[in-house]
Structure formats: structure tokens, C-alpha cells
Structure 1
Amino acid sequence: MLPKQSPWLLDTERIYTEVFQSICGEYGKEYTWALKARVMGRPAREAAAIICQSVGLPLEPEELLVESSRRLHERFPSAQLMPGVERLVTHLSAHGVPLAVATGSSRETLQRKTEQHGRLFNHMQVVVTSDELAAGHGKPAPDIFLKAASRFIPPAQPAKCLVFEDAPNGVGGAKAAGMQVVMVPDSQLDHDLQNGATQVLTSLTEFIPETFGLPSY
């Protein structure tokens, strides 16, 4: 099983949205949900370039990356677990189900996001971050999911992996890797962008493990 870090685990997308809306608004630009859907799950530098180009920000992508990182890092420690996460992760871990995080965040950013939730993230045997990917190989490419699967002992077959995702790019990457995907999208995400997932839920509290051959609660 290869769970993604944010926001199905943590409520960080709200923070991302507020920060980028704030920066774009300072230049009279709008950070829309359509644009957000394009960059969700992508490595930070790639996302910054798309945002700058799409809205015409008078900033270089690196400048946007520096400013957004500063604001995000101030707020990440306040991120709370999403409903149903703690129950699911501890349940699967107790039953010996291998767990991983495969995230478009850098390792430094991941540590900042999870510093208040170390006990939960200790259940993850494998962690793969964007630092480990070649340029242009972030989601929706399958690389990060395949890399995570290969690090289990023994390595996991993609067809035996279940990915939890919130973003269309993540769903696309997981499907390209040959894995099943449970999508837990934000309620504001266009329904047309929720296609492709094996299952779509409004909350992890709705997840029934035995549907995918996992131990029941």
C-alpha cells in the first residue's frame, strides 16, 4: 500500500491554497481551482513555473518558490490529520500491511509538515520525496510510485499496491504505475477531474478495507 502524504493524510492543501491565493492577489492575479488542480502533487519548482506562466505573475518561478516556501513553512506545523487517517494507518500497521509515503514534497517540507505527527508517520516503512526524482519525472509520471514499491522488502508488485490520492496528477501517476487508486478529493475539485480512480470517497471515514482485500476494522 502506498499512501500519499498530503492532503489525504494531512490538511495541507488548504494552506497551499491560501498562500498562493495571497501571493497572486498581491499582484492582482487569481489563483483558481482549475490552476490548483493542474499543479497539485507536482514537485514545487515545476508547480511554481506553471503558476507563474498561467497567471502572468511578474516573478521568476524561483522567486515564487522562495516566497511561497517561506510562508508555507511558517504554517505547515499547524496541519491537522484528516478524518479517518489515524484509524486507518494504525489499523493497517497493526495487521502488518506495508505502508509508504510517496509525495511531491521535498524531504525538508515533509519533515516540516509532519513534525507534530511523528508517531503516526513512524508507521511508514518507506518514504520517497521529490528530491529523489529526475527533473520532469514527478506526478503524473509513475516514477515515484514505482520507486516506493521497489523499496519494500520484498519489493511490491504494482498490481498489489493500493494508492490513496487527492490530486488528478497523483491518480494519473498511480494508474500509469499499474496500481489501484482510492481518491479522496477536495469537495471543490471538478468532478471531471475525478475520473480514473478505482474508487472515489468524500472522506477516509468511508473507506472499507475489505473492499480491497485488506483486514477489516
Structure 2
Amino acid sequence: MKFRKVTHVIFDMDGTILETESIYQRILGGIANDWGQEYSHEIQLKILGTPEQDTAKIFLKELQIPLSTEEFLDVYHKRMHEELQHPTFMPGAEKLIRHLSKHKVPIAIATSASKFSYELKVKNHQEVFQLFHHVVCGTSDPEVKNGKPAPDIFLICASRFPDKPNPNDILVLEDAPNGIKGASAAGMLSVLIPERGLAEEHRKQADLVLNSLEEFQPELFGLPPFDD
């Protein structure tokens, strides 16, 4: 199976580059427990990949927790600061980033996270994250009017490459169905690396589904193959 050739690659961050999703689930599960509620898998799927304001609204509405968005985010940010400082790379992510950079393939990040959250997570991985041309943090970027699954963040991310590539020439790597929907709406090819147990209905919109980035073959998208 081969796909059309792409020239640029956009990465999601949480659950795609860094193993942070389990940390987020622990934080949100803890807040739910504080209010005697359960943070279910169904709610997790609705939240996965959304910007912080949407995360707060969905979480509070679904669990009927009587906090304002601002009150929730205060608690959320405090716990993030405690837990998010030492994430590890997802399997295959660092190798792929270094490979694409070495072969001069323009790469960027489109994350729903806030700039505060992004900087916290990458603090101990600066060498790798400096290989990206730019980063769009959806929660903090005033140009991103609508979060994933809207295409806004991907189109804005594409527009910030110096050569302004056509969306058809871009590949998006994502772990969340909301991100895949956004990439598809933007007219970009997409690869989904889902968490285990994600229902088939949430996988269908991706052009390719992999168990991890260790399985990724760049040449399927016209990109330089791995050297080894």
C-alpha cells in the first residue's frame, strides 16, 4: 500500500511524541475522584486531543462537577506542574524525528496543549524539540479559533512553514480520533497511533493505523526511507 507523496510532516505531541496521556488520565481521574465521580473511558475519548478550555467544559459537564472552568483549570495546572516534568518518548518517535530532520524534511508540532504545558513537558528534551521548525499550541494561540476536531490548528501550522505547502502535501501523525478528524478536514493525509482498545469506528477516518511509530515506513509517503 502506497500513498500520495508528502513533503512536510506535522506531529501531535501528547501520546504521539511523548508518553503523557497516562499522566493526563491520572490527573483527570484524581480530580474526578475528589468529587466522588469516575472518569470513564467514554469521557476520556471525548476529551482526547481537545484544547484545555474544551477539556474543562466536557469534563465538568459529563461529571456534573460544580466548578467553573477557571476553578477547574487552576487545579488542573497545579497537578500538571507536579506530574508532567519527566515524560518519556513514545516508541519510535525520537528516531523518526531525528531521521526526518537529518533528511531536511520540514517538521512541526500541532498540539492542543497550552504553551505552559508544552514548555513543562519538553524542558528535559530540548535537543530533540529544537529540530522542529515551529510549534502551534492550540490552547494559547490566538489564531486557533476552534480546537480539534476542527481543522484550524493544522491549517495554521501549515501556513507557518516558510514555503506555505499545500495541505495535500502534508502528513499528520496523531494518537487521537479528534486529531484525525481535524487532519482529514484540512485535506491532509493522516496516520493514527491509537491507544490499545480504541474501537474500530474511531480508526476508520485515518489513512493508516499503526500500533506504534516503530512500524512507520516513511517511503510509503514518498519520504526518505530509514538508513538501517
Same topology, TM > 0.5: yes
2:166 matches 1:166: no
By relative contact order (CA 8 Å, sep 6+), the higher-ranking structure is 2
Q: Equivalents in 1 of 2:48, 2:204: separation in Å?
A: 15
- Between Structure 1 and Structure 2, the one with more helix by share is 1
Give the one of 105, 112, 130 matched to 1:104.
112
In structure 1, the partner of 2:163 is 154
Pick aligned residue for 1:5 from 9, 13, 16: 13
Counterpart residue number, 1:209: 218
1:137 to partner: Cα distance: 0.5
Decide which of 65, 68, 80 is 1:72's aligned counterpart.
80
Contact 2:13 2:110 in 1 (8 A): yes
Which secondary structure state, in structure 2, belongs to the residue aligned with residue 128 of structure 1?
Answer: strand
Q: Per-residue deviation at 1:134?
A: 5.4
Q: What residue is the counterpart of 1:129 in the other structure?
A: 137
Q: What's the RMSD between the two structures over aligned residues?
A: 1.2
Match of 2:34 among 26, 45, 57: 26
Among candidates 45, 48, 54, match of residue 53 of structure 2? 45
Is residue 16 from structure 1 mapped to residue 33 from structure 2 by the alignment? no
| SS state at 1:77 partner | coil
> Would the aligned equivalents of 2:145 and 2:152 in 1 still touch at CA under 8 Å?
no
Q: Deviation at 1:98?
A: 0.2
Structure 1: which 4+ aligned runs deviate by more than 6 Å?
none
Matching residue's letter, 1:34: E
Structure 2 match to 1:180: 189
Counterpart in 1 of 2:151? 142
TM-score, normalised relative to structure 1: 0.96
Please point out which of 198, 203, 208 is paired with 1:199: 208
Q: Is the 8 A contact 1:145 1:174 kept in 2?
A: yes
Tell me whether 78-87 or 124-133 shows the greater mean CA deviation: 124-133
> Per-residue displacement from partner, 1:139-158 (whole Å, max 9, x unpaired)?
11111101111111111110
Is the 1:183–1:200 Cα contact (8 Å) retained in structure 2?
A: yes
Secondary structure at the aligned position of 2:159 is classed as helix
1:79-102 deviation digits (Å, cap 9, x = unpaired): 100110111000000000000001
1:55 aligns with 2:100: no
CA distance in 2, matches of 1:198, 1:68: 34
Residue number among 91, 97, 111 corresponding to 1:89 in the alignment: 97
C-alpha displacement of 1:190: 2.5
Structure 1 position 61, deviation (Å):
2.1
